[in-house]
Structure 1
């Protein structure tokens, strides 16, 4: 699956625990990354400062659904399910 244009769900829903360029405290779940543009595109795409987590993310229907709303819901649910007990 190709990444959906104007989505940005993967830059909003998940948390990033480690500090990275522009977000020295990491990124909480549900908060837009500071590098997400107004048209929901990653401004660090292809940049070595992009977090490894983001670099490894692969758009798949099971995670991204059929539209942006589904992607946000599915990624948010995965975030909750992956929380430590």
Structure 2
């Protein structure tokens, strides 16, 4: 599956414990990443400073569902389970 441009759920719903440029302590679950632009696109996409956890994320229907809202719900639920 290809990532839905403008979704941003993977940059908002999960916590990220590793440093992110502009967020040296990472981010909490539900907190919008500072590297997510107004169109919900990653400003670090393709940049070597992008966190490894972000590089490793691959969009798939099991996680992202069939809509942006479903992706946010599913990733939030997965975060709550971990």
Specify the TM-score bucket, using the shorter chain as the normaliser.
over 0.9
**Structure 2 equivalent of residue 2 of structure 1:** 2
Residue 21 of structure 1: how far off its partner (Å): 1.4
**Structure 2 equivalent of residue 46 of structure 1:** 46
Give, in whole Å, the separation in 2 of the partners of 1:29 and 1:66: 21
1:1-85 alignment runs, 5 A limit: 1-82=1-82
- Name the Cα RMSD after superposition: 0.7
Give, in whole Å, the separation in 1 of the partners of 2:26 and 2:56: 17
Give, in whole Å, the separation in 2 of the partners of 1:29 and 1:16: 8
Mark the runs of 5 or more structure 2 residues left unpaired by the alignment. none
Residue 19 of structure 1: how far off its partner (Å): 1.9
Give TM-score, length-normalised by structure 1.
Answer: 0.93
Give, in whole Å, the separation in 2 of the partners of 1:79 and 1:8: 15
